Chain A
Amino acid sequence: MNLSTFLAADRIVLGLTAATPREVLEKLVDPMVKADIVSDPERFLADLERREAEITTVMENGVVIPHARSNAVKRLGLCVGIASEPGIIFNPEAGVLSRLFFCIAVPAFAPTAHMPLLQRLAKFAREPQRVERLLKSKTASIGSRYLGSYKG
């Protein structure tokens, strides 16, 4: 699976700021609505929140991979969010500040289509030097190219 397939530059949100977890998700879902990946943002946001409530998608190091299967998703999609320092508390129970978000939209008719993508992103997220470099991306294109070139 090639990450670059999912990473048009408009699917990288730099300088992400949000007062609530819902706002984080809204800002990550919006580019996927514009790319015609998500047909009904409200429904998809509700599915993301329901999934987060089942078991958190916040990793120990603060990287967050919110994802959900949804009837509001037309095809597999990804949006990356990079928050400014110090980061955002996405799930108070996890108790960590998060700066990197990988939001995955999974169509309900293909409920396991995202597994290879999830594995690749989780592996990337466990490599601190790579995460640090992605966080330093000055433009969305640079971030997109860097993450897209990851073959780990």
Chain B
Amino acid sequence: MNETVKRLLMLQELNITLKEAAIVHGDDLEEQDTTLLNSRVAELRLQIPPELLSRYDRLSRQGLAVVKIHHGMCLGCNIGIARGDINRILAGKLEPVCPHCGKFVINE
């Protein structure tokens, strides 16, 4: 599961990069410029279970879908996550999702 969240984080990074490129290049951005990034997005999406991918897509529509845990706090909602829950997430015994905001969390 944690591997899947890492893939979701990579997917999110690529999607942010594509948005940045659209801002920087505007109308000058051509399809061929983003071909490589888009193919990496497509490749990653194939490696993620459909139910998690659809949850990711739903969360992405409202901002970040994958956020970090920093000093025990979810950076999506800025609410602390119980140490025991973080340990269970790290051990793969609990779904890596913030119990408060529902975003995917990654501990770094």
Q: Which residues of A contact B (CB under 8 A)?
A: 51, 54-55, 57, 59-60, 65, 67, 69, 71, 108-112, 115, 118-119, 122, 126
A111 to B21, CA, bound (A): 15
Residues of B at the A interface (CB closer than 8 Å) are 12-13, 16-17, 19-21, 23-26, 28, 33-34, 36-37, 63-64, 68, 70, 75, 108
Question: A55 contacts B64, CB within 8 Å?
Answer: no
B23 touches A119 (CB 8 A): yes
A111 near B25: Cβ-Cβ < 8 Å: no
Cross-chain contact B37 with A54 (CB below 8 angstroms): yes
Binding site secondary structure of chain A = loop
Residue in A closest to B33 when the chains form the complex, CB atoms: A55
Name the B residues within 8 Å of A110 (CB-CB): 75
Bound-state CA distance A122–B26 (Å) is 9
Contact between chains at B26 and A126 (CB < 8 Å): yes
